[in-house]
Amino acid sequence: MSEQLLIGVDIGGTTIKIGVIKTDGRIVEKWEIKTNKDDNAKNIPLDIWTSIKLKLKKLDIDKKAILGIGVGAPGFVDVKTGEVSIAVNLGWKDFKLAAILKELSELPVIVDNDANIAAVGENWKGSGRLADNLIAITLGTGVGGGIIANGKVINGVNGTAGEIGHITVEPGGSPCNCGRNGCLETVASATGIVRQAKNAIQSGSTTTLNDRSKLKELTAKDVFELATSGDKAAQEIIDRVTDVLGLAIANMATMINPSIIVIGGGVSKAGEELLKPLRSAFESYTLPRIDEACEFVIATLGNDAGIIGGAYLVKQAQE
C-alpha cells in the first residue's frame, strides 16, 4: 500500500481507540487496546506505538506511508507542546505525551483534548459538514465541549477553552470532579441525570423511577423513557436538564455565532426526546439572529469521531 495514510488515536479511561485512516477520511482499519493505568499510566505511549507497529506489519503498510499520528487525550492539553497538563482519570500531570510518542515512532505527533478531536472528526466526516463555526457537545459520563471558530479548533492560552462542562450553572450546587460545585456536568451528564433521579426517589416523589431502580441500576436512558411514558418526576428532570443545557449553549453561541451545534455522547441517543426541548430552551435564551443561523444536529460518527478527528489534525498540519 503506497498511498499516504494517517493514524488517529483516542485515549479513553477504559480503552484506547486507534485507526489507520486515508487522507479522504475513510477508515482502513480500526481497533482498540486496553488503557493501562498502572504506574500513573506512564506506559500508554509505548502501548500505543507497539500496537500500531504490529498492525502496520499485519496490513503490510510501510511506516514511510504514515504522515503522522493525531492523538486525543482526556484532560487539559497544551497543544503547542503536546503535553497533557492534567488528566485526573489517568494520573497524568505535565505528561509529555507528544514528545514520548514522537521519540518512539519517529513520526510527527499532534495531541489535543479528546472533546476537541471528536468535534474535528464530526466536522470533517460527520454532522458538521466542514462548518467554519461549530460547537460540539458530548453528553456522557461527563460533559465535553469542542469549539471550531473560523475553521480552527479553539484551545485558548493553556488548552482550557471550550470546557462547557465546567461552566457554573448552579452556584453552590452538587460537587464536580474538577473540585468545584454546580458545574454543567453535575446537571446535564448521564451521571447528573441519574443523581437527580435518585434525589427524586429519596424526596418521596410519586414516581415509577422508584420501581425501575428496584429492578436495576438506574441510567439516564431510564429517565428519558419514563418521561416519555408520562412520569411527572422524570419529565421534570428532563425539563431541567434541557433548560440548563440550552442556556449554557445559548451563552456559548453568543460568543461564536455557530452554524451548527452537534450533540454527541451516550445521552444523545435519546434523539428528538432530547433535541426538541433543548432547541426550545436554546431559542428562548439566545438572540433571534443567532438562532436563525443555527442548526442542532445529533453526532453521527459515534466512537469513530476521535480517531477521525485525530487523523484530520495531522492532515491539516500537512496543508
pLDDT at 50 over 80: yes
- Looking at residue 2, what is its pLDDT? 63
φ/ψ bin of 216: left (φ > 0), alpha (ψ from -120 to 50), beta (otherwise): beta
Do 149 and 295 belong together in one domain? yes
What's the domain range around 264?
129-300
Do 150 and 106 belong together in one domain? no
Question: To the nearest whole number, what is the mean pLDDT of the chain?
Answer: 95
Residue 316 lies in a domain: no
- Looking at residue 141, what is its pLDDT? 86
CA distance 236 to 199: 12
pLDDT at 246 over 50: yes
Residue 305 identity: A
Q: How confident is the model at residue 319 (pLDDT cuts 50, 70, 90)?
A: confident
Do 148 and 295 belong together in one domain? yes
Query: pLDDT tens digits for 143-184?
Result: 999 999 999 999 999 889 999 999 999 999 999 988 999 999
Which residue, of 122, 143, 166, is where some domain finishes? 122
Do 156 and 287 belong together in one domain? yes
Do 148 and 294 belong together in one domain? yes
Do 218 and 278 belong together in one domain? yes
Residue 244 lies in a domain: yes
Q: Which of 58, 10, 46, 13 is nearest to 306 (CA)?
A: 10
Do 71 and 158 belong together in one domain? no
Do 180 and 95 belong together in one domain? no
- pTM comes to 0.90
Query: pLDDT tens digits for 61-79?
Result: 999 999 999 999 998 999 9
Do 152 and 118 belong together in one domain? no
- Looking at residue 69, what is its pLDDT? 98
Residue 311 lies in a domain: no
Which residue, of 56, 89, 122, is where some domain finishes? 122
Residue 319 lies in a domain: no
Residue 313 lies in a domain: no
pLDDT at 272 over 60: yes
Do 168 and 214 belong together in one domain? yes
Provide the domain count of the chain.
2
Domain with residue 294: its CATH number is 3.30.420.40
Which region among 1-10, 37-46, 163-172, 295-304 has the lowest average model confidence (pLDDT)?
A: 1-10
Which residue, of 101, 122, 143, is where some domain finishes? 122
Do 93 and 156 belong together in one domain? no
Residue 34 lies in a domain: yes
Query: pLDDT tens digits for 195-230?
Result: 999 999 999 888 999 999 988 999 999 999 999 999
pLDDT at 1 over 50: no
Mean pLDDT of 295-317: 96
Do 197 and 227 belong together in one domain? yes
Residue 306 lies in a domain: no
Q: For residue 102, how many other CB atoms are within 10 A of its CB?
A: 20
Residue 35 lies in a domain: yes
